[in-house]
Structure 1
Amino acid sequence: MRWTNHEQSVEIFPPKEFNFTECLRFLNRSEQEILHKIQDCVLSKLLNVNGELILVEISCSLVSIIVNLPHSNQPLLVRKRIVAYIWEWFDLDQNLADFYILAAQDKVLQNLACSYSGLRIICIPDLFEALVWAILGQQIHLAYAYTLKKHLVEEFGECLTIEGSTYWHFPSYQKIAGLDVDSLRKYTHTSKKADYIIGIAKAMMEGELTKETLLMKQNCRDFLLTYKGIGPWTAEYVMMKCLHFPSAFPISDVGLHQALKKQLGLERKPTIDETKELAVNWEGWQAYAAFYLWRSLYE
Structure 2
Amino acid sequence: MNETFYDRCEWTILTPHEFRFTENLTYLSRSANECLFDIVDQKIYRALSFENEKLLVEISAVNETELHVRIPGRTEPIDKRVFDAVSAYIRSWFDLDTNLLPFYELAKKDPLLQGPVSQFFGLRNIGIPDLFEAIAWGILGQQINLTYAYTLKRRLVESFGERIEYEGKSYWLFPTPESIAKLTIEDLSVMRMTVKKCEYLIGVAQLIAKGELTKEKLLLANDVKTAEKMLTKIRGIGPWTANYVLMRCLRFQAAFPIDDVGLHNSIKLVLEMEMKPTKAEIQTWSEAWSDWESYATFYLWRLLY
Q: TM-score, normalised by structure 2?
A: 0.95
Q: Percent identity?
A: 47
1:190 to 191, 194, 198: 194
Q: Conserved in 1, the CA contact under 8 Å of 2:263 and 2:300?
A: yes
| 2:61 matched residue in structure 1 | 60
Q: Deviations over 1:30-73 (max 9, x none)?
A: 11100011111101110002222110110012241000112233
Give the conservation status (yes or no) of the 8 Å contact 1:199–1:228. yes
Segments of 4+ moved more than 3 angstroms: none
Of 89, 94, 101, which aligns to 1:97? 101
Q: Which residue of 1 aligns with 2:140?
A: 136
| Cα separation, 1, equivalents of 2:145 and 2:13 | 36
Match of residue 111 from structure 2: 107
Alpha carbons 1:233, 1:250 under 8 Å: kept: yes
CA drift of 1:217 comes to 2.1
| Structure 2 unaligned blocks of 5 or more | none
1:66 and 1:27 map into 2 onto residues whose CA distance is 17
What is the CA–CA distance in structure 2 between the aligned matches of 1:119 and 1:296, rounded to whole Å?
A: 12
| Cα deviation code 1:96-133 (max 9, x no counterpart) | 00000000000010011111111000000000000000
**Equivalent residues of 2:155, 2:190 under 8 A apart:** no
2:122 pairs with one of 114, 118, 122: 118
User: Structure 1 residues 257-266 or 128-137, which shifts more?
Assistant: 257-266
Q: Give the number of aligned pairs.
A: 298
Question: Partner letter of residue 3 of structure 1?
Answer: T
The equivalences for 1:1-299 within 5 A come to 1-62=2-63, 63-72=65-74, 73=76, 74-187=78-191, 189-218=193-222, 219-298=226-305
* CA–CA distance in structure 2, aligned partners of residues 271 and 216 of structure 1: 33
Could you say what secondary structure the match of 1:297 adopts?
coil
SS in 2 for 1:26: helix
Deviation string 1:123-176 (CA, Å, 9 cap, x unpaired) is: 000000000000000001110000000011000001111111111010000000
1:8 to partner: Cα distance: 2.8
Name the SS of the counterpart of 1:25 in structure 2: helix
Cα distance in 1 for residues equivalent to 2:287 and 2:201:
34
In 1: Cα distance, 2:35 partner to 2:88 partner: 22
The residue type paired with residue 64 of structure 1 is: E
1:128, 1:142 → 2: CA distance?
19
In structure 2, what residue type is equivalent to 1:67?
Answer: V
RMSD: 1.1
Return the alpha-carbon distance in structure 1 between the equivalents of residues 118 and 192 of structure 2.
Answer: 38
Return the alpha-carbon distance in structure 2 between the equivalents of residues 109 and 143 of structure 1.
26
TM-score (norm 1): 0.97
The DSSP-based 3-state class of the residue aligned with 1:207 is coil
Deviation, structure 1 residue 186 = 3.9
Shift of 1:188: 6.0
